[in-house]
Structure 1
Amino acid sequence: MSNDSFALSAGYLKKLVPLMMKYQVPANPKNYALWYTYIANTDEALTKAMNESLQSSGSVSLEQCTELYEAHIADGQNEGIQAAQEGFEALALEISNTMVDTMKDTDVFQSTLEKTFSQLARVDEEAMSTEETIAVVRNALKGSKEIRQSTSFFKNQLADAQKEIDRLKETLAEANEQAFNDALTGILNRRSFDKHLDKLIASPPERGFCLLICDLDHFKSFNDTYGHLMGDQVLKLTAKRLAQFCREGIEAFRYGGEEFALLVPNRPLGGGGRVAETIRASIDKLAIKDKKTGSKLDNITVSIGVAQFEKGESPRNLISRADAQLYEAKNLGRNRVMPIT
């Protein structure tokens, strides 16, 4: 990042927090990214929408913030991360500049001291008058006061910067989590899946790995019968159960909708199939109750397709083979794992 970009980031950072406080906007990663983009004026449509809201109602409601984020920022979820990183860089530049100024003041004070000592040495040699001696001492005291003010300002700025750094670190951590975790279930999302899969293919474990793609059976019918809130509850419980299998390098992801994926390292096809069968049986035992009626709902089942990575194949091909096995499991009656190993 250039010095100009640093200066811009520092300026945005100084405007961002006071503006969000003025309009009582919660400082979460989504709002941080939204208002940072607004201040930076990098999205004309967003700037226009924000200005219209501010002019008409004098504020931007939380609902509007969410809608504007989804419309203008959501496709680039790394905006919050980038904004926080630029904030760190801007703070570093500002502190560095202040340090340079303080060092210059120190050099000036050192020069003043050396000149003062040289002048005081003439007291005995040249019989300086009392008035002349007092003038020399006053000059030294003036320089001492100025350097104290300079170092005090630097100390205060460091303290303020530390507070801002702590806040930015928290924002960055939240933004990172948001970028790679599914908002509903809390497990890793599709973006994270793509990243992990690429990494495994680039450097496969010694014993290879398997991809498991899981799909909840009859989920659309379940949603139609019991409603989306109960459907969301099923997704959360399924994700929680999958997370229990995340050991020995296994990672679980929400792949999309009612589909989940697991990457199982150091397992051949048979080993991956056994993991899948254990997961299937575990989910089949999930018991869901309707809180309104207290009645037990239909059992939740899942179909799973398994594919073992073949050296040199692409992510797309591996996913396609696992999908084919998943469709076969569905065609054979659901609540099963394919291929049978």
Structure 2
Amino acid sequence: MSKDNFVESTETLKKTVPLMIKHKVPTTPTNYALWYTYATQQYPELNLAIDKHIDAVGHCTPTMCEQLYQEHLASQTDKDMTQLKQSLTAMMQELSHSMTDTLSETETFQGALDNTFAKLESAEKEGLSITDTMVLVRELIKESSQIRLSTGSLKNQLTNAQDEIMALREALSESQKAANEDAVTKLLNRRAFERDILGYQRNNIPYSLIILDIDKFKNFNDTYGHLLGDQVLKIVANRLNAFCQDNAQAYRFGGEEFIIILPGKMLASARHQAETLRRSIEKISVLDKKSGQRINSVTASFGVAERQVKESYEEVIERADSYLNKAKQLGRNRVLPLN
């Protein structure tokens, strides 16, 4: 490096660190690279995106820093690896759900075979006298026994395969923790939420939270299968993305639960937006390709809370979650508090 370049780099670094301190940006390698580039003003689009986000939200959230880094600075190899991890995780989840549904169907089929087998054995014990009929019955019993053994073997094979898939899925999950995106819904994940909400807390920026939970989702999974359950999660996530305006951000909080940060919104406004979202979700219609049945029973319950002065984000979540639980107790598919 030449002396001039060294002096220029030093001057840029002197600008970078105060900028990160001013906006309370976490000191990670990617953030250093992002804000160093911002200080050099080499990429006007990057500077414009950062300035626009800060003007709208009051600070640059960790998730936004990472997104901007990926969009403007990350190499194609970095992007390809991130996409590969997400695709593999999604594939493993889909395979695991397929295996779970197949195991369930196999158990049902084996139960039906056991029942038929018992009836045939009972008929034999009643002493049917026609020799040819008895020969046929014995053949049916023999074939049924073979089918039952074959089904049991298949069940064992599926169980072993599912164990292998689960192990691979857990390994991929560990690598996915370094990312911000949920593999199934493509929403930001809980890790991203916790990083972003801490930014609002540190900068004392007012916000409200909406927590929603898909009603009776376990029963839905048990009835129609996990693949259709994943489809519902994706559709709900799409509704949340379409709903998020004015810098609102949606996250998959865990399972069938989602959370939305609404910067600068008071309780009345947040509640009104939650009601709009509730009505949108209850209009969801999903086709079960196995049975040809159309399911129109997708609903969600909501809890809303506005952050009070000096309140931790955990307390805000606890209050919103309390309203969510009350909404479920009162019959589900509703928003609380009422006003």
Task: Please report the TM-score for the alignment, with normalisation by the length of structure 1.
Answer: 0.50
CA distance in 1, matches of 2:187, 2:81: 20
Relative distance call for 1:288 and 1:269 in structure 2 (3 A) is same
* Aligned residue in 2 for 1:256: 254
CA distance in 2, matches of 1:293, 1:65: 27
Q: Which runs of 5+ in 2 are unaligned?
A: 1-79, 86-162
Q: Which runs of 5+ in 1 are unaligned?
A: 1-26, 33-62, 80-178
CA distance in 2, matches of 1:220, 1:227: 10
Task: Please report the TM-score for the alignment, with normalisation by the length of structure 2.
Answer: 0.50
Letter in 2 for 1:316: E
* Aligned residue in 2 for 1:186: 186
* Aligned residue in 2 for 1:274: 272
1:196: Cα distance to partner?
A: 1.2
CA distance in 2, matches of 1:210, 1:289: 35
1:28: Cα distance to partner?
A: 3.5
CA distance in 1, matches of 2:333, 2:177: 38
* Aligned residue in 2 for 1:314: 312
* Aligned residue in 1 for 2:131: none
Letter in 1 for 2:322: A
Partner-residue secondary structure (3-state), 1:296: strand
2:170 to 67, 70, 73: 70
Relative distance call for 1:296 and 1:273 in structure 2 (3 A) is same
Alignment of 1:283-302 (within 5 A): 283-302=281-300
CA contact (8 A) 2:278 2:333 kept: yes
Letter in 1 for 2:184: L
Could you say what the CA RMSD is over the residues aligned between the two structures, in angstroms? 2.4
CA distance in 2, matches of 1:313, 1:185: 30
- Percent identity between matched residues is 43
Relative distance call for 1:76 and 1:314 in structure 2 (3 A) is farther
Relative distance call for 1:64 and 1:326 in structure 2 (3 A) is closer
Letter in 2 for 1:257: G
CA distance in 2, matches of 1:264, 1:187: 16
Relative distance call for 1:28 and 1:295 in structure 2 (3 A) is same
* Aligned residue in 2 for 1:167: none
Give deviations 1:103-153, integer Å, cap 9, x for gaps.
xxxxxxxxxxxxxxxxxxxxxxxxxxxxxxxxxxxxxxxxxxxxxxxxxxx
CA contact (8 A) 1:31 1:69 kept: no
Give deviations 1:44-94, integer Å, cap 9, x for gaps.
xxxxxxxxxxxxxxxxxxx989945734x7436466xxxxxxxxxxxxxxx
CA contact (8 A) 2:252 2:259 kept: yes
Alignment of 1:102-251 (within 5 A): 179-205=179-205, 208-251=206-249
Aligned length: 183
1:256: Cα distance to partner?
A: 0.2
